[in-house]
Structure 1
């Protein structure tokens, strides 16, 4: 059986072939991987089905029986002429056309009970036969490159015989992360990938239950949904004990999410479209009512401008478009008097058209059942943007409360009607985690996690847990992007789980330590395997060269001849190169082991840190706060963390007597230096 490390390395080797040849090369690799998996597994299922028949009946099946076996064995149909071998065996000048025909044929052959072509736009999202844009008559992706890709992947059997859904799915996710890491500064990475550490914190706090229905309205490649399924598999033994729904607006990302679900063996429903303008999941008996879910997890696009698509380019007096500093057109928006959302999602207020944060948050709330919960990644601005009303006596302006303030207050108190009266009183914000900046792909904007619970326990109904996880030392600073490490995840999840209760914290830490140690060990295994893969080819090549050089010298000596200086020098050089490669490999292996040991030690240190903190009332204030409604009201529902948690690092205490002594010595040294300088100058 192939390991996910080996498969991951193979897939990323294909990326080296495609780099600089096409723009979104991850789509090409993932689509080709999916096609190979379907084809390999189809043929394996046929062979396996026939073997089972022979075992049960003691004879080979007839042609008619074979057709029945084949018809029952497959989740996906592959027409004749559309298999991997058909593409592999095609002459090089016909590779593009053959690959296009194969994936198009499969897309058109698979229709569900509702008449929907459920693989269209998924397996055939890449245009393999696209002509070159220069009009030369060639192909955008040359047949030589396609032939190389096919040959590269052909060596790997992707059927169930050699690759389990866990291996396929994990290797696929590994590849998606590698693509995101390559494009950290670009916007596309943020469209399809959320750091796994953040996903893990959210999923573990929400705790998906057996039979739950989970939803991600901006699902990207499907990371939240996959993690929820894995949580259920770990806790209930079946990853299909939770139903999964997602929506994604970007075509290629939507295709990646669908492939991700299939490769993980999940029956998820991922729809394509703009979630705010065209939500796809609605109640069966009412097309204008948003479907309700037990859990919603999301990382929506931060501060999306023109989310209702009603902005028009602003023009100056001469009719010329007015641009922003970045060159993008400045937009003007209509008033909100005539705004109408057919799905009635914005019960807390209509967000500014120029910023979609509260539009996504209200869509998520509308998508929750009465006892539903959500974990939402959002920019920190949602915690404090917007101003409350002020009378003329208070600020001399007689200012009205703005929309974002009213929406945030509504989440804490309840929605109001057109007369400003509360239609119901409730607080649905459960907890807030403020994260460090530069943690998410494609943006340096500091993020936060907003946990929503429509049915909070009685003792927490008027309280909000606030955690400051942007503290220095609570994350790893890296040149291009910050990162949460296993012990950082433990610190955040323990405070979330315990709400300050020491005994609950101790129980949680004991369980999570085992899990995190296992993750560290798994990651170590992955790194060691990568190191092995990286050096394998070079080591084998130079070992062979050394062996040949030794044999040549030995053969001469056997004949009573002396090897030449050139031959001896060549062997010495080859041995030196081989030793250098072996030392480099050993250094990397040692570094990987040292990092794993350091991470395990850090987990133990965080355990001690948390236990000490939870026993010290003053120290707790620097980590988190459980804030009641009275304090929130006093702060005019501003949820900016520094109002509730002591985010300032304590100044280092100094010994005044020692400091005075040091200053005295410095002054004396300065006086002596001036005296010496004066003497030198007087001589001159």
Structure 2
């Protein structure tokens, strides 16, 4: 039942998204549709919570029925606002609820539309009665303003700044923009998010589905905000191995927050979520994603800044750390970092044009003694020489933190075809004598963008958790072997995937060629006879 509803909801939301698309690219109309869905979510949560307060107080009317213009109505609203800010972290008045705005935008209009909302049928508007753009912009601002001076202020600050309702991309005139927005609100208003069923997270799953759909159309930009779901699952299973609850999980390049939320699906409980994201739009998306998945505003702390240059959570140590940082990004590599506790002990900084190990060093610094971290890196990070080789040597020889190296298939990340890998680090390793190497590069479903199948994911995790050696797939390398390879971690040096060609019987092959030549000769003779009978030139 819930699975069917989830798929139906996903398709409905995607169809609605396409009514907004117009001439906008994927990441532009993504910001609008996800923002409207988030506004509807906040409204419904507000309404459910306010109705609960009224019911507990013995009142028989609903929150949406309160008259905001009467003295009694204002008293009710102030009382509910106080409790809402404490519990939900924000407040909306009855007139600011999604359903109320949608009704105003579609006032007295006869919408004879089916649930197949992808059809771009035009609606006729009385602009005087139905114009909602200014009201809607104020309401989105008011959501943020309601949190001023409260504990949730930072979590809601400028959340809707990417939703410019006056953008000409929505329509050339205010009336055209009003029409398309009112239409989208009307379609969304018909959908039941089933928020009262707290055991289901169908909306959260549908939101993730939409983010993935937008990523598939965003090309290289998708890498800024989304890690393919199956890769997220692998990373999440690595860092939760042997754990049912986590005190904390951290992603220093958290994008839309999907990877943090994926970790939470693998355990019974995560006490706190931490993340940092450079891109402002993606940072907003991450906070929306957290709230929409029911993560209380006091349980997550997402910051917007450059993680390497301006880290925001250095006072914390985390039980689980996951990351899919930008591959081989540039960073300052300023020599001042040699006095930074994250880097000073290594004696070397990652190169300016390859920040991969700078992220590794940063994450290891924040990893707790009983924690596990898993990071996606480009394959070159395994074997490049210079300072990166020295950092690898320190991590393996001096600290013995490296637990496993997993090779992934090519073309499984949006916007790039380069081969990638996952490195797993632990400060207190259960198996300190060896490092597990897994070559899963040949196990995937081939497509425009390749992807790991559930069986591929299960195989990786099973081999990792049991630390098995399997011919052509995995190998336990001793620290001495890695040292003898001069700390080159190229997986091919440890997992032999060479397949010996079958022996060829040359005598049989010679006989086959002779028979083939006889057949060719016979066919040519037949063709010559036909050409002669038809009195046409021969092809020879």
TM-score bracket for this pair, using the shorter chain length:
0.7 to 0.9
Q: CA deviation at 1:673?
A: 7.6
1:252-274 deviations in whole A, cap 9, x for unaligned? Answer: 21111111111111132211111
Q: CA deviation at 1:405?
A: 1.4
Q: CA deviation at 1:104?
A: 0.4
Tell me how many residue pairs correspond in the alignment. 487
SS of 1:466's partner is strand
Match of 1:294 in 2: 319
Residue correspondence of structure 1 range 551-570 to structure 2 within 5 A: none
Match of 1:532 in 2: none
- 1:410 & 1:624 partners in 2: Cα distance? 24
1:665 has 2:524 as partner: no
Match of 1:601 in 2: none
- 1:112 & 1:85 partners in 2: Cα distance? 28
CA RMSD of aligned residues (A): 3.3
Q: CA deviation at 1:488?
A: 1.1
1:471-529 deviations in whole A, cap 9, x for unaligned? Answer: 2xx11111x211111111122111111111xxxxxxxxxxxxxxxxxxxxxxxxxxxxx
Choose which of 377, 394, 400 in structure 2 pairs with 1:427.
400
1:440 has 2:413 as partner: yes
Q: CA deviation at 1:675?
A: 9.1
Q: Would the aligned equivalents of 1:97 and 1:129 in 2 still touch at CA under 8 Å?
A: no
- 2:14 & 2:507 partners in 1: Cα distance? 62
Match of 1:603 in 2: none
Q: Would the aligned equivalents of 2:24 and 2:169 in 1 still touch at CA under 8 Å?
A: no
- TM (norm. structure 2) is 0.81
Match of 1:570 in 2: none
Match of 1:361 in 2: 360
* Distance change (3 Å), C-alpha of 1:649 and 1:96: farther
Choose which of 146, 160, 174 in structure 1 pairs with 2:195.
160
* Distance change (3 Å), C-alpha of 1:360 and 1:256: same
Match of 1:449 in 2: 422
* Distance change (3 Å), C-alpha of 1:661 and 1:43: same
SS of 1:232's partner is coil
Q: CA deviation at 1:194?
A: 1.0
Residue correspondence of structure 1 range 160-559 to structure 2 within 5 A: 160-161=195-196, 166-183=201-218, 186-207=219-240, 208-233=243-268, 239=269, 241-266=270-295, 267-283=299-315, 291-305=316-330, 307-308=331-332, 340=338, 342-345=340-343, 347-348=345-346, 349-386=348-385, 402-414=386-398, 426-457=399-430, 460-471=431-442, 474-478=443-447, 480-500=448-468
For structure 2, list consecutive stretches of 5 or more residues without a partner in the other structure: 61-65, 67-71, 106-125, 533-537
Choose which of 35, 45, 65 in structure 2 pairs with 1:31.
35
Q: Would the aligned equivalents of 1:132 and 1:141 in 2 still touch at CA under 8 Å?
A: no
Residue correspondence of structure 1 range 116-135 to structure 2 within 5 A: 116-130=153-167
Choose which of 7, 10, 30 in structure 2 pairs with 1:8.
10
Q: Would the aligned equivalents of 2:338 and 2:344 in 1 still touch at CA under 8 Å?
A: no
1:213-251 deviations in whole A, cap 9, x for unaligned? Answer: 110001111122111211123xxxxx3x43211111112
- 1:95 & 1:126 partners in 2: Cα distance? 15
Q: Would the aligned equivalents of 2:234 and 2:457 in 1 still touch at CA under 8 Å?
A: yes
Choose which of 5, 28, 42 in structure 1 pairs with 2:46.
42
Q: Would the aligned equivalents of 2:318 and 2:366 in 1 still touch at CA under 8 Å?
A: yes
Q: Based on CA coordinates, which of the two structures has the bigger radius of gyration?
A: 1
* Distance change (3 Å), C-alpha of 1:256 and 1:131: same
Q: Would the aligned equivalents of 1:376 and 1:449 in 2 still touch at CA under 8 Å?
A: yes
SS of 2:435's partner is strand
Match of 1:77 in 2: 91
- 1:249 & 1:638 partners in 2: Cα distance? 31
* Distance change (3 Å), C-alpha of 1:272 and 1:140: farther
Residue correspondence of structure 1 range 59-98 to structure 2 within 5 A: 68=79, 71-73=82-84, 74-75=87-88, 76-79=90-93, 81-88=95-102, 89-90=104-105, 92=127, 94-98=131-135
Q: Would the aligned equivalents of 1:34 and 1:123 in 2 still touch at CA under 8 Å?
A: no
- 1:12 & 1:277 partners in 2: Cα distance? 38
Residue correspondence of structure 1 range 596-675 to structure 2 within 5 A: 620-655=470-505, 658-666=508-516
- 2:354 & 2:135 partners in 1: Cα distance? 46
Q: CA deviation at 1:359?
A: 1.2
Q: CA deviation at 1:670?
A: 6.4
- 1:140 & 1:340 partners in 2: Cα distance? 58
Range moving further from structure 2, 645-654 or 110-119: 110-119
1:381-437 deviations in whole A, cap 9, x for unaligned? Answer: 111111xxxxxxxxxxxxxxx2121112122112xxxxxxxxxxx211100110111
- 1:675 & 1:142 partners in 2: Cα distance? 76
1:147 has 2:186 as partner: no
Q: Would the aligned equivalents of 2:393 and 2:487 in 1 still touch at CA under 8 Å?
A: yes
Q: Would the aligned equivalents of 1:624 and 1:645 in 2 still touch at CA under 8 Å?
A: yes
For structure 1, list consecutive stretches of 5 or more residues without a partner in the other structure: 234-238, 284-290, 311-335, 387-401, 415-425, 501-613, 615-619
SS of 2:267's partner is helix
Q: Would the aligned equivalents of 1:293 and 1:367 in 2 still touch at CA under 8 Å?
A: yes
Q: CA deviation at 1:680?
A: 12
- 1:214 & 1:140 partners in 2: Cα distance? 46
* Distance change (3 Å), C-alpha of 1:441 and 1:677: closer
Q: CA deviation at 1:81?
A: 4.6
